Amino acid sequence: MSDTVMRLGVVGSGSWATALAKVLLDNGHAIHWWVRESSIIDSFQRKRHNPRHLTSTWFPIERIEFSTNLDTVLRAVDVVLIAVPAAYLEAALGGSDPASWSGKNVISAVKGLLPGSNLLLNDYLLQHAELPLPDYFALLGPSHAEEVAAEKLSYLTFSGMDTSMAEQIAAHFSNEYINTLVNDDILGVQYAAILKNVYALGAGIANGLDYGDNFLSVLISNAADEMAGFLKKLGAYHIIVGEQESEDPVTHRMMPNYAASVYLGDLLVTCYSLHSRNRRLGGMIGKGYSVQVATGEMNMVAEGLPASNCIHQVNESRVRAEMPIAEAVYRICWGGADPKETFKVLETQLI
């Protein structure tokens, strides 16, 4: 653990926010926690667990200062972790006083673009509160909330322009069940986290259509290649597994390639795991449920659904990468295309 004292805040009360709050509390920290609904706070304080998510996870309430006022939380902390679904970010953050963000380090655990504007969270905070990019960090990696809460070993990557501060922040999360990595590819890791949810929808659709493991392996390996092509056009780096570009000047070991965990690892776990809500939603769509009915059956947000629309718009307007898998998911989810017919065409586009 780092000796640097940081006053820590958490924004959001979904499963990912709850799991990350547990990590900080397990490491001995006190936290300020913004929760939108006072009824959730009341239940939390009485029963010592989140009444809606990860309900078997117990919390030391005496080290949590809850509030429904975001400005109150922001003014009390040095570092604020945001773990809110992208679709709800503007509603959660838009009413805050821009001055409350001044001098804060922001950690984003968001895995989506803001619908409508197609902005990353760092771009939104720059517009809303003039938050400079060096004060912004992204926390991502192959890690389902359920497994983090169950203390199963997980790897989290902290990305930021200021890698020294990223290391200090990462140290507050590191423990016996969380291994931390640091890089400076702030753009790449955020878009990779968005894309992997889109591809997990596709993997779920394939599963629902009764494709087998052989096809699924081809689909996901092609998705990895498709993701790398998109990220490369965006200017991201360290995106190809197996590429080490330089060696450490002290140890003379090859410098780490972060594609192995934060890119490929996150893609694999989201496409294959039974914990994956995007895979689950895709499976229902593949079995014939309409998008509207499938989303209504789920009690959690599947970020891949809005992300598939956002990525389509971003790619059409400025990236122009070849993305047959992402486009197939977009047409099924947003264009009313028949999943079976769409995947029949996709079969001929995979290698």
Collapsing DSSP states into helix, strand and coil, what is residue 152? coil
Token readout for 214 is: 């052989």
Helical ranges in 209-347 per DSSP H = 213-234, 264-272, 277-286, 291-297, 304-314, 324-334, 339-347
Token readout for 126 is: 């720059």
Helix (H) or strand (E) holding 137: strand 136-140
Can you tell me the distance from the alpha carbon of 259 to that of 198, in angstroms, rounded to the nearest whole number? 18
Can you tell me the distance from the alpha carbon of 109 to that of 148, in angstroms, rounded to the nearest whole number? 14
Instruction: State how far the alpha carbon of 18 is from the alpha carbons of 10, 49, 196, 347, in Å.
Output: 9, 9, 22, 39
Q: For residue 177, give the amino acid letter.
A: Y
Can you tell me the distance from the alpha carbon of 71 to that of 69, in angstroms, rounded to the nearest whole number? 6
Q: Using an 8 Å Cβ cutoff, are 294 and 277 in contact?
A: no
Residues in contact with 299: Cβ distance below 8 Å, sequence separation at least 6, in sequence order: none
Can you tell me the distance from the alpha carbon of 252 to that of 197, in angstroms, rounded to the nearest whole number? 36
Report angle CA 194, 15, 217 to the nearest 5 degrees: 45
Instruction: State how far the alpha carbon of 104 is from the alpha carbons of 9, 140, 228, 295, in Å.
Output: 10, 20, 32, 35
Phi-psi map region of 116: left, alpha, beta (phi>0 left; psi -120 to 50 alpha)? left
Q: Using an 8 Å Cβ cutoff, are 66 and 44 in contact?
A: yes
Look-up of token digits 């000047």? 249
Catalytic residues: 196
